[in-house]
Amino acid sequence: MERLDADWRTAPLDERRQTMLAFAEKLTLTPGEMSESDFIGLRTAGFGDRDIHDLVEVVAYYAYVNRVAAGLGVAIEPWFDGE
């Protein structure tokens, strides 16, 4: 878990999870760059349409909530150091 928390790319994850996290990262950081190839990668890794829908909703909701909190000046929990 520590390796996953530090950097998912160095954690011992299977290809399916790596594909999912790469997709989530891209959707979070550069949503305008998403393309059909991103979805093909998920399907190739074994994700179905419902899985992809759920993944997109979770990633988008997390980004939304964080932006709302930042926009309202909500203080970060003391236990979270942001790293």
Is the residue at 2 inside a domain?
A: no
Which domain covers residue 31, as residue numbers? 15-72
CA distances from 69 to 36, 65, 72, 82 (A): 31, 6, 5, 14
Residues in Cβ contact with 20 at an 8 Å cutoff, skipping those fewer than 6 apart: 42, 45, 47, 55
Its pTM stands at 0.82
Per-residue pLDDT tens over the stretch 63-77: 999 899 989 999 877
How many domains would you assign to the chain?
1
Per-residue pLDDT tens over the stretch 6-57: 888 888 999 999 999 999 999 999 999 999 999 999 999 999 999 999 999 9
We report the CATH number of the domain holding residue 57 as 1.20.1290.10
Is the residue at 50 inside a domain?
A: yes
Is the residue at 7 inside a domain?
A: no
Is the residue at 9 inside a domain?
A: no
